[in-house]
Amino acid sequence: MTQDIASLDAPDLPVRDGSNSRKVFVKTYGCQMNVYDSGRMADALARDGYVQTEDMQDADLVLLNTCHIREKAAEKVYSALGRLRDMKKERAAEGREFMIGVAGCVAQAEGEEILRRAPAVDVVIGPQTYHRLPEALKRARAGDRVVETDYAVEDKFEHLPATDKAKIRARGVTAFLTVQEGCDKFCTFCVVPYTRGSEVSRPLAQILDEAKKLADGGVREITLLGQNVNAWHGQGRNGESLTLGDLLYELATVPGIARLRYTTSHPRDMDDRLIEAHRDLRVLMPYLHLPVQAGSDRILKAMNRRHTAAEYLTLIERIRAVRPDIAMSGDFIVGFPGETDADFEATMALIKTVHYAQAFSFKYSTRPGTPGAELGDQVDDAVKTERLERLQALLFEQQRAFNEGCMDKEIDILLEKPGRMPGQLIGRSPWLQSVNVDAKASQIGDIIKVRITGTGPNSLFSELVAG
């Protein structure tokens, strides 16, 4: 299960100067992997002379990088395409080029249907073929309406240009790095196996090379991405079989990388080597997003999660035994078909046992083409709403308690961006909280020690520790 289900619209990519070049506006929806994919598509387009703009009105190409995990995702895309159609008519009247592309998981799921319903669209390109985007645009300019949604035989990462240092620096001191794509778990509620394909892992050498380039560009923290990131597997230098834990040990040696994270994990793929990495690697941050979705074994079985609540709790105990300061995050779905009051109370009991520092929760909604869409015994929406309110109140209380537990602690934060006030900077704690600090002598990319002086719902406040 990917963290798509937990995410909101991701920020648009930053501006690139270049007044004489074609300009592209990229709108990114959904998960961290879509943010990463948008950056790589921009790199591919740059090779063809495109620069990025944050002003849609200034763009020659608008690219919607879409997410299909949320309810009515496709309809939101079609609504946006309706507005873009009008812009295209205006540009045509002015004799100016204006192309529209749809990428990502809605593109993969809808394919030719997008061209039928939205005739203004020039290119539809899936997440496994976005390295073909420049060529698809050339074909579109020649009069074709292009759909590229097959699962490419070639390795798309081998066909993408390297990101130059200037672009890496412009994107900040933290970066995403996709190491694994696709999913073989087939949870009955999830579209990911159908939009991202089966599990594929990038080779070790390719990952290390990209990590080194990120470090050379000033990146201090890397978050490894995958629909089931801890299903990553590869081959070592001597032909040995490697898992994500081994990869983390390798990445921990890359000069300049001070912090490592990874998301999203599946409980079935948390092996001993990965738990050892949490024990041994100080560069691996003590934060783990490990979705469980429900606390009822009956519902977990209906979801095809292939683990029990007790197995999940035992796994949490093992991880906390080697890294007591680890913060847990999770995903929860309420109102899955057939969920009774007793099933829901089992989920609440699991949450009370784990004590999450952060979590994401949603009402179940059907996804066409998934097994869950065919199930009967749907839960009434009013019941879903009441259960979600109770569950979120509990999760919010746990998050507040975790943040308040940080009061007066001295911790290291990585400074990421300026704050709203003069001299204020914003960094991240080891547990992924946003931390505000007045640190006039420090700069973005520094790791500084602070003492936590206050807490809010979504951030912490701190003062610099002298010396």
CB 319 within 8 A of CB 270: yes
CA distance 347 to 309: 9
Q: Decide if pLDDT at 186 tops 60.
A: yes
pLDDT-derived band at 71, boundaries 50, 70, 90 = low
pLDDT reported for residue 8 = 34
CATH topology of domain 410-464: OB fold (Dihydrolipoamide Acetyltransferase, E2P) (2.40.50)
Q: What is the CATH number of domain 3-148?
A: 3.40.50.12160
For CA atoms 192, 195, 198, 199, give the dihedral sign. negative
For the question of whether the overall pTM of this predicted structure is more than 0.75, the answer is yes
Mean pLDDT of 99-120: 94
Query: CA-CA distance, 137 to 121, in Å (whole number)?
Result: 11
406 annotated to bind ligand = no
Using alpha carbons only, give the angle 374, 377, 383 rounded to the nearest 5 degrees.
120
Percentage of the chain with pLDDT > 90? 76
Q: Where are the alpha helices (DSSP H) in 323-459?
A: 341-354, 381-404
C-alpha span between 29 and 12 (Å, rounded): 9
Q: Is the CATH code 3.80.30.20 the one for domain 157-404?
A: yes
State whether residue 55 is helix, strand or coil. Answer: coil
Domain range list for the chain: 3-148, 157-404, 410-464
- Judged against a pLDDT cut of 80, whether residue 138 lies above it is answered with yes
Rounded to an integer, the average pLDDT of 106-127 is 94
DSSP tag of 154: S
CA neighbor of 256 nearest in space, from 163, 175, 337, 374: 175
Q: 264: cis peptide before it, omega within 30°? A: yes
Q: What is the pLDDT of residue 299?
A: 98
Confidence of residue 153 (pLDDT cuts 50, 70, 90): low
DSSP, collapsed to helix, strand or coil, labels residue 375 as: coil
Digit-coded pLDDT (tens) for 353-364: 999 999 999 999
